[in-house]
Chain A
Amino acid sequence: MRYTPKDIEASSRKITRRGLILGGVQVGFMSVLALRMRHMQVDQADQYRLLAEENRINLRLLPPSRGLIFDRNGRPLATNEQNYRIVVVREDAGDVDEALARIAHFVPMSDDDMERAKREILRRSPFVPVTIADRLTWDEVAEVAVNAPALPGVTPEVGQSRAYPLSEDFAHIIGYVGPVSDYDLSKLEDPDPLLQIPRFQIGKNGVEARLEEQLRGSAGTKRIEVNAVGRVIRELDRTPGQAGANVQLTIDHGLQNFMRARLGAESAGAVVMDVKNGDLLGIASAPSFDPNKFVRGISVADYRELTENPYRPLANKTVQGTYPPGSTFKMVTALAALEDGVISPDETVYCPGFVEKGGRRFHCWRRGGHGNVDLVKSLEQSCDVYYYDIAERVGIDKIAAMARRLGLGERHDIPLPAVASGLAPDKAWKRDTRGADWVVGDTLNASIGQGFVLASPLQIAVMTARIASGRAVAPRLVKSIDGIEQAAAPAEALDISPTSLEHIRQGMFAVSNNRRGTAYRTRVVDDAMRLAGKTGTSQVRNITAAERAQGVFRNEDLPWERRDHALFVAFAPYDAPEIAVSVVVEHGGGGSTAAAPIARDIALRALYGEVPPLSAYPSDQRGQIQALFRDLPLIDVTPTPTGRTRA
């Protein structure tokens, strides 16, 4: 009985008062909670909803299939091959060692491969598919697919990889693709997100690199739902990408194949160009390399072999290499003089075998001299003294201007890397770059394509095509992109009088068809296919007076890298020119012996559209030619109808 009713009353009142205070605090706090909840769920709901979506949805890119590359006849030059591979998902495969051992029954795998595959699998999350074998044959993949029930967690997959069916023939033109490097990315300001895909392949060289944007296509996307550890729960939707555009080149693959085979083991370049529209029908550089090796990942040993080869197989000599054009430049000097009126075609110059200028003696290639020489004879016999004389009269600036009009010393716009601009030197150029005045000796050297003059095989082919057509034709390599013709503007007439050009053409005809012409040996006897050409032999060293006194070294006695470059340019048929050809054989010796035979075969191959008939050759050479053609490693060029080959 400790409590009296009064106590109880007091206690109860206290509890009621304090209890109500407490209840007020509790309700107040619950109101705070409710307001907070309302603020988050109603006012900020959109923001949080967005964050939740970002959490859950991943965007994956679907690589588009790369555009194909065809030759002018529709023959595929760069294709996408089905690449069969085998992927393993660890959590489905069970014991990794056992799974790999089971796979090895069907697919050849070295111990190294197994070790690498195992490491890769264990490094990734258990649900991530890991590629363990690549580039399998259809048979191997089929075997794995058939045995699928015995191979849990192992799936065959198919991807695409680039292949170059005509491998070495087109290595310098098509180039090759390779995985994106950090360097590639650093060059781009706003890289395509596709490039972030691991091992995504982009063009690294040649047309593949220069037309990368067109060939690549655009990425498709798929939205997938992932959970907190990144496992894919399901695919939400997918937007297909746009495949890359197909590219058709102006090259004729049969001619290209013939050209590369004909160049053989030489370090050489050759160009065949359509004189009417500038289409490049063939641009071959030898030696070549297999671009497929680069796609697969070239071995260090193979790569070193390519870089250390003195013949520089990786270089595209036809557009990147520049050489002193030698006597093939004489047409330029002659045209400059004719147009300037300093000589007439019939005017003769006496050639004693040398001239003295500025205290130096400038020699003609024939020590005894040519006697009285007119324009046609000067070309036919390639008299140097004639050009020393007329060049001094017309001056270097006009020669340089003529050279540029004919396409020398300018960079032609074709989608190949490092297209050389060559050099058509003039007084201003020498002052600006060498800080020295132009001297008359420079003019004399330049007049015969020596000294400072430099040109690529492509440029001298363009020069020849312009002389043959009288129009400013420009080279074209890409015929169409995505079926859209990449037509060049019709070539304008050259600002050169037709009679001047005609005299030059006659001189070139004499070179290849007159008994005393420097290229008479490599004449064509089929009247419909007559060549008109010009030989060139360009020195890569100075001949000292002492050497000359002893008698000039024969090329064969010199080490390879000091021998002369052999050049030959030609157009054909003479009466109605269709093609222009240029051939440069590095350190090949004389133009008439090393370059002209190659140029003749190539020109005839281009004109006939097949291996040239022996009837086109002089009868005494037929046996030799037959043997040569028999040994050429040519591919079968049975024509494939355009459009049917699309993979």
Chain B
Amino acid sequence: MSYLEYQQKTVPTGWRKVLHLNWALILLLAAVASVGFMMLFSVAGGSLRPWADPQIKRFIMGMGLMFFIAFVPIWFWRNMAAVAFGGSILLLLAVEFFGAVGMGAQRWIDLGFMRLQPSELTKITVVMILAAYYDWLPMEKVSRPLYVLIPAVLILLPTGLVLTQPDLGTALLLMIGGATVMFVAGVHWLYFAVVIAMGVGLIAGVFLSRGTPWQLLQDYQYRRIDTFLDPSSDPLGAGYHITQSKIALGSGGWTGRGFMQGTQSRLNFLPEKHTDFIFTTLAEEFGFIGGFSLLVLYGLIILFCLGAAIRNKDRFSSLLTVGIGMTFFLFFALNMSMVMGLAPVVGVPLPLVSYGGSAMLVLLVAFGLIQSAYVHRPRSKT
């Protein structure tokens, strides 16, 4: 019995919950998604098919799912955290299993109307289980080594499974997202300092060992790193994507080349222009003003999440909201870094904009949880 349930008499009930939703956040999400519809319409050469139309349908469906989840009390979702986490691990294993028996690497399970990627789901369930864990754990035990080890295992288990697919982008998201929940929950900063130091040491080791008998990576892996650091060294091979992406982005200028006037995307120089590289099309057609506006929309979503988390007196709700906000942040930050040539090409979609069912649905489910936490937050008696 938590504090939250004790206070539940002050929580709105029935249809009155609609009035207590965080409508500003919903409008921001709809705005970002609309940018996505517009860009998918543009890259299809001014057509709803093949991308914009299904995307709109999925968004409407996702919004329905979000409202449904928002109406269910947050304590129900807290109690379900372990089940959800366990389920997603099983799904990951299932993909692994079917992938081994079936036809090569499968990252998804066919649900009929859409393909569900368990790795997408895992991004949410890891945050949920960690928030529930710290809700359960007394504050004074948070920084004890044993109680630090448990969440570390909870993070590393799905991360390991995802890495074998292999899906470096998702693995990165899981680790940083999970670590963020631990950090906000109050784990001593020394743990993070040590991990970061080890990471830096590892990277330094990788680079310093190159060419020595004990080098840590294969030669081809080094070449990939080279290509990331200097895409122009291999403009037609592995560097092609990033080179063309930068050309598209840079050629946008202040105001862009105009809606549906981007030559890079229209003439197919851009790879994956409707999924991972959709931001470059936006930047090409609407320039710095367009790209910066989208960044501002994303920033507002993050700030709303953070604000809601800080004001929420329920520990689970708070941690969940921060964790999901961070995951959302990681999505667009990694994607934008990638297309601007600041990060290697790891395959992270632009949230709510890139074409793709799983990511969209999972994100809206996650925002459903944030809404539920918001609606069912403890309120002081007045």
Contacts and interface: CB of A to CB of B under 8 A. Distances in A.
B340 A30 contact: no
The 3 lowest CB-CB distance pairs between A and B, nearest first, are A48-B250, A227-B267, A52-B251
Given A16-B310, A18-B185, 20 more contacts: A1-B6, A2-B2, A2-B138, A15-B310, A19-B309, A22-B183, A22-B306, A23-B306, A26-B302, A30-B302, A36-B342, A37-B291, A41-B250, A48-B247, A52-B247, A53-B263, A55-B269, A56-B267, A227-B267, A227-B269
Nearest to A4: B3
Contact of B180 (A2, A14, A22): A22
Interface in B117-144: 138-139
A49 interface: yes
Given A29-B333, A30-B298, A37 B249 contact: yes
A19 B287 contact: no
B269 A56 contact: yes
A42 B295 CA distance: 16
A270 to B, nearest CB: 62
Interface string A17-28: 011101100110
Contact of B333 (A12, A30, A233): A30
B173 interface: no
Nearest to B262: A52
Interface in B278-302: 283, 287-288, 291-292, 295, 298-299, 302
A188 interface: no
A42 B251 contact: no
B311 to A, nearest CB: 9
A22 B3 CA distance: 26
B262 to A, nearest CB: 9
B285 to A, nearest CB: 12
Interface stretch (B55-63, B150-158, B313-321): B313-321
Nearest to A7: B139
Interface in B209-257: 244, 246-254
Contacts of B259: none
B186 A22 contact: no
Chain A CB within 10 Å, residue with most, of B2, B253, B302 = B253
B247 A3 contact: no
Interface of B: 1-3, 6, 138-139, 180, 183-186, 244, 246-254, 263-264, 267-269, 283, 287-288, 291-292, 295, 298-299, 302-303, 306, 309-310, 313, 315, 318-319, 322, 326, 329, 333, 336-337, 340, 342
A47 interface: yes
Nearest to B299: A30
A42 B253 CA distance: 5
Contact of A15 (B3, B254, B319): B319
Interface of A: 1-3, 7-8, 10-12, 14-16, 18-20, 22-23, 26-27, 29-30, 32-34, 36-38, 40-42, 44-45, 47-49, 51-53, 55-56, 225-229, 233
B268 A1 contact: no
14 contacts: A8-B313, A14-B185, A19-B310, A19-B318, A22-B322, A30-B333, A37-B336, A52-B248, A52-B269, A53-B263, A55-B244, A55-B263, A55-B267, A227-B269
Contacts of B246: 40, 48
Residue among A1, A7, A16, A41 with most chain B CB within 10 A: A41
A32 B248 CA distance: 19
Interface centre among A7, A14, A22, A56 (most CB of B within 10 A): A22
Contact of B251 (A1, A19, A27, A49): A49
Given A3-B2, A12-B313, A19-B322, A40 B269 contact: no
B267 A40 contact: no
A484 to B, nearest CB: 46
Contacts of A40: 246, 249-250, 340
B319 A45 contact: no
B295 A48 contact: no
Contacts of B295: 30, 33-34, 37
A12 B317 CA distance: 11
Contacts of A37: 249, 283, 288, 291-292, 295, 336, 340
A33 B246 CA distance: 14
Contacts of A20: 306, 310
A178 B264 CA distance: 40
Contacts of A44: 250
Contact of A45 (B252, B263, B322, B329): B252
Contacts of B269: 52, 55-56, 227-228
Contact of B283 (A22, A41, A226): A41
B247 A229 contact: no
Contacts of A48: 246-247, 249-251
Contacts of B288: 37-38, 41-42
B2 A45 contact: no
Contacts of A34: 292, 295
Nearest to A27: B299
A24 to B, nearest CB: 10
A41 B337 contact: no
B328 to A, nearest CB: 10
A7 B250 CA distance: 52
A42 B288 CA distance: 7
A492 to B, nearest CB: 66
